[in-house]
Structure 1
Amino acid sequence: MVLLGGGLVLLLGVAYGAGLLLNHEDVPKGTTVMGVDISGTRDEATAKLQNTLGTRAATPLALKAGDKQVELKPEKAGLTLDTQATVRGATGSDYNPVTVIGSLLGQERTAEAVLPVDEEKLQVALQELAGTAGTAVEGTIKFEPNKAVPVPGKAGTSLDVKASMSLVEDAFKTLVRTGKAPSVELPVANREPTITQAEIDRAMREFATPAMSANVVVKAGNKSVPFGPAKSLPKILSMKAVDGKLVEKYDLDALKELYGNGFDGVLIQRGNGEKTPVTPQDVAGALGKALVGRTTAERTVTIDTNPS
C-alpha cells in the first residue's frame, strides 16, 4: 500500500513537471474565451480572437423600435471587444497542480472576454434612433438653402432610451458569444417634446434667423474663407436639444470638406506652446461668432493665431 501510494505521488509529480515544461506559452494551453481556443503567444492569441470574436463584434445588431426595423453598428454605439485586454487577462502561468495536470490532459482553462461599453456613445446612438422611430417629434430648427425652418414638437411615442440600453448591451454579448443574436425589440413609451414653441422662437430670433441672413467670412493669418446660406451653411448647421434648450451644432466633417485647404500654412500658437494647423474646431468657434453678427464687419471673424 505504501509503495502504491508512493508510486502515485511520483506519477503525479512527473505529470506536474511535464505540464509545466509543455505549458510555457504566453497564453497557457487549453485557454478558451467564449469557446475559442486562444492558447499560444500573445500575437497568436490576439489574431485568433480578432478572426473569430472580433468578426462577430463588428456585425450589426438587428433592432426593432415600434414598427421600424433598423441595424445598429456596435462600434458606433460604443460596443467593442478589447482583444488586447482580453489577452492580457488570459496570460500568465497557473501553477496550481490541478490546473497544470488538467491542461496536460486537455482540460480547458476559461478566460473572460473584455467587452467595454461606452455608455455615452450608446446613449447618443439610441437617441438618434429615437428621433426616427415612433410618432413623437422633437421641436427643432432645420437649415435649408437661404432659410431656417422652425419645426414644432409633437407628443407621441418614442424609443425608451434608458430601458433599451441594457437590452442592446445583452444582445451584443450574445452576438459575440454565439455569432448570432435575435432581433431585439426595444421598448417605446409616450413622450412629450422637451423643446417648447417658446424655445424654438427664441432660437430662431437669437441664432437661426441671423445665421442664415447673409454670408460670413472666417479669416486666419493671410487666408480667408466665405460661407454662405445658399449652399455651405445648410450642410454645416443643425440644432440639438440640451436640457430643454436648442443649441447650435456644427458638422465638423462637412466644415472641413467645405474649407478644404483654405487655411493651409496657417499655424496657431496653442496653450502648451506648440504651433499647430487650423482645425475644424477653430473654424467652428469663429463661425459661431460670425453667424450672429448683424453687419458685414460683425460677420467677418478672424481666428487669433497667437492668443495671449
Structure 2
Amino acid sequence: ASAPPRARAPAASAGPLGGLGGKPGQDSTTTPPIFRDPDPAPGGGAPAEHVSGETLVSGIPVVPPTGNRPGSPFPPAGSGTDAPAPAAEDATPPSGPKPPAAPAAARPKKKGRSKLVMAVGALVVLGGIAYGAGLVMNHADVPNGTTVLGVDIGGTSKETAVQKLDTALEGRTTAPLKVSVDGQQKEIKPSVAGLTLDTEATVRGVAGRDYNPVTVIGSLFGGTHQAEPVVTIDEEKLKDALERLAGTSGTAREGTIKFEPGKAVAVYGKAGKALDVDKAVAAVDEAFRQRAATGQNKVITLPVVTKQPQISNAEVDRKMRTFAKPAMSALVKVQTDPAHSLPLSPQNSLWKVLSMRVVDGKLVEHYDLNALKELYGGFFDGVLIERGNGSKQPVAPTDVAVALAKALQGKTPAERIGIIETNGS
C-alpha cells in the first residue's frame, strides 16, 4: 500500500501580516509564533530584559506591575502566588544612629495665658512708674513715712526730725523711773543713772535716700516705716545709782559713811533683805526701753536678796578717822591761780560731792563729777591746761577732783588749798 500523503504546510500569505504568521482572521493558536518568550528563570518571574510582543507592536514599553518592581519586598497584588519570604537579615534595621524623631506639633496657645502675660507686664510697668515717682518725691534728709516710737519724722531735715523727737518723747525719757525695793517706793532719775534715748543718733541712722521699692512705693500711698530708737545705757552710772538706792532701801544695811550738810555720819551694817544690784541693772534697762516705746511709767519691782554686810564696824570707824572727819572739818579751796580760786564749804558744797563705795571689803571715797561741775560752773572759763601731749585744753571736772582730794587731807588753811597745775609739769 502506498503511504498516506504528507500534509503540506500552508503557504505564506502575501498580505501585510503574512510575515507575522497567518492570514487575517486565522486563529493564532494554530500557527507557531515567530518569536517566543525565553524560558523563565529559575525561581519564577519574568527575565529582567524581557521584551513582549506588545512592545514591538505598539512601540510603547509596558510599565511592569507594582508588585514586580525591582527591590519591592511584597508580591504582586492579586497574583495568588505567595512570594518567598525575605531573609531574616533583611528584616534587621541598619546599624548606626537613629534619625531624630519628628518634632511634635506645637499646641495652639491659649488666649487666657496671653492675657495673663499682658497683665503681668502692665503691672511691672506701673510699678516702675510708681517707683520712679517715689524717688523723685522722696528727696528730704529723712525718707517719707519714717516713724520712731509713733512719731512721724518722714520728709523732714535732720535738725527738724531731732526737734520733733525731743518734743514728743521728752516725758518718756527724762521723767524719774518709779521703782519698788522690798515694798518701798523709790525713784531713779534717768540722767543720773546714765539712761538716754539718743535722738541725734536715731535720726542719723534713718537719714539718707531709701531705695527699697517696698518702702518707696508704699510712701506714695501713706505707708510708714518704723525705725528703732538708739538707747544708750551707761552701766557704770546705773550701777552706782542702784548701789546708792540699795543703801536707803530694804531691811539689810551696808556699813558706810553718809555725808550731810556740815558733817559725816557713820552707818553700821546689818543683815537683811537688800537690793540685788546686778539683776536690778538689767531690770531698769529693760523698763526704760519699754517706757520709751509705750509711754507707760509703770512701777519697776526690783529683785532683792538676803544679804550680810560686807563692811565691818571696824572698817567704818577707820574710814571716819582717816578721811571723813578731816574732809568735813573746814572749808577748802581749789585754784589755778589766785584770780581763779574756788571755795567749797562742808555746809554748802562738799557733802553734795562726796560719797563712799565698797571695793574689796574696804570703804573708798568717791567724787561725783557731775555734781562738782554744777558747783563750779563757768568759774574756770578761759583757763587752759597744757596737757602731756603739748595740747592746751579747758579745765575739766577730773582736774578739779584731783586737786580737791589733796586739799581735803589738809589740816591748816594753807594745806587745804588744792592747786590745779596749768603748765603740764
**TM-score (normalizing by structure 2):** 0.60
Is the 2:400–2:420 contact (alpha carbons within 8 Å) kept by the matching residues of 1? no
Between the aligned partners of 1:265 and 1:53, the Cα distance in structure 2 is: 36
Q: Deviation at 1:112?
A: 1.0
Between the aligned partners of 1:79 and 1:184, the Cα distance in structure 2 is: 15
Q: Deviation at 1:115?
A: 0.9
1:26 to 141, 161, 168: 141
The letter of the residue matching 1:274 is: K
Residue correspondence of structure 1 range 49-64 to structure 2 within 5 A:
49-64=165-180
Q: 1:265 to 1:13 in 2, by over 3 A?
A: closer
The letter of the residue matching 2:244 is: E
Q: Secondary structure at the match of 2:231?
A: coil
Q: Is the aligned partner of 1:281 residue 2:398?
A: no
The letter of the residue matching 1:189 is: V
Q: Is the aligned partner of 1:181 residue 2:297?
A: yes
Q: Is the aligned partner of 1:239 residue 2:364?
A: no
Q: Tell me which residue corresponds to 1:85.
A: 201
Q: Deviation at 1:129?
A: 1.1
Q: Tell me which residue corresponds to 1:133.
A: 249
Q: Deviation at 1:133?
A: 0.7
Is the 2:180–2:302 contact (alpha carbons within 8 Å) kept by the matching residues of 1? yes
Between the aligned partners of 1:94 and 1:256, the Cα distance in structure 2 is: 43
Q: Is the aligned partner of 1:207 residue 2:323?
A: yes
Between the aligned partners of 2:140 and 2:175, the Cα distance in structure 1 is: 31
Tell me the alpha carbon deviations over residues 118-153 of structure 1, each in whole angstroms, 9 at most, x when there is no partner: 111111111111111111222123467887553321
Query: Looking at both structures, which has the greater relative contact order when contacts are Cα pairs under 8 Å and sequence separation is at least 6?
Result: 1
Between the aligned partners of 2:243 and 2:267, the Cα distance in structure 1 is: 18
Q: Secondary structure at the match of 1:116?
A: strand
Residue correspondence of structure 1 range 127-276 to structure 2 within 5 A:
127-142=243-258, 149-208=265-324, 211=327, 221-222=337-338, 237-250=354-367, 253=371, 270-271=387-388, 272=390, 274=392
Gap runs ≥5 in structure 1: none
Between the aligned partners of 1:35 and 1:265, the Cα distance in structure 2 is: 44
Q: 1:269 to 1:226 in 2, by over 3 A?
A: same
Q: Tell me which residue corresponds to 2:93.
A: none
Q: 1:14 to 1:302 in 2, by over 3 A?
A: closer
**TM-score (normalizing by structure 1):** 0.80
Q: Secondary structure at the match of 2:172?
A: helix
Is the 1:215–1:299 contact (alpha carbons within 8 Å) kept by the matching residues of 2? no
Between the aligned partners of 1:155 and 1:145, the Cα distance in structure 2 is: 28
Q: 1:3 to 1:67 in 2, by over 3 A?
A: closer
Between the aligned partners of 2:228 and 2:328, the Cα distance in structure 1 is: 54
Between the aligned partners of 1:244 and 1:23, the Cα distance in structure 2 is: 61
Q: 1:211 to 1:61 in 2, by over 3 A?
A: closer
Q: Deviation at 1:215?
A: 7.5
C-alpha RMSD of the superposition: 3.6
The letter of the residue matching 1:150 is: A
Q: Deviation at 1:87?
A: 0.9
Q: Quick one: percent identity of the two aligned structures?
A: 51
The letter of the residue matching 2:288 is: F
Q: Is the aligned partner of 1:38 residue 2:153?
A: yes
Tell me the alpha carbon deviations over residues 16-75 of structure 1, each in whole angstroms, 9 at most, x when there is no partner: 211111122221111122222210221222222112223321222221111211222222
Q: 1:23 to 1:64 in 2, by over 3 A?
A: same
Q: 1:192 to 1:113 in 2, by over 3 A?
A: same
1:119 to 213, 225, 235: 235
Is the 2:408–2:416 contact (alpha carbons within 8 Å) kept by the matching residues of 1? no
The farther-off stretch of 70-79 and 126-135 is 70-79
Between the aligned partners of 1:228 and 1:8, the Cα distance in structure 2 is: 78
Gap runs ≥5 in structure 2: 1-114
Aligned residues: 302
Is the 2:268–2:313 contact (alpha carbons within 8 Å) kept by the matching residues of 1? yes
Between the aligned partners of 1:22 and 1:16, the Cα distance in structure 2 is: 10
Is the 1:219–1:303 contact (alpha carbons within 8 Å) kept by the matching residues of 2? yes
Q: 1:232 to 1:24 in 2, by over 3 A?
A: closer
Is the 2:323–2:409 contact (alpha carbons within 8 Å) kept by the matching residues of 1? no
Q: Deviation at 1:103?
A: 1.9
Q: 1:20 to 1:234 in 2, by over 3 A?
A: closer
Is the 1:65–1:185 contact (alpha carbons within 8 Å) kept by the matching residues of 2? yes
The letter of the residue matching 2:392 is: E
The farther-off stretch of 71-80 and 242-251 is 242-251
Is the 2:336–2:419 contact (alpha carbons within 8 Å) kept by the matching residues of 1? yes
Q: 1:282 to 1:14 in 2, by over 3 A?
A: same
Q: Tell me which residue corresponds to 1:17.
A: 132
Q: Is the aligned partner of 1:105 residue 2:221?
A: yes
Between the aligned partners of 1:285 and 1:30, the Cα distance in structure 2 is: 54
Between the aligned partners of 2:303 and 2:262, the Cα distance in structure 1 is: 39
Q: Secondary structure at the match of 2:232?
A: coil
Q: Secondary structure at the match of 2:233?
A: coil
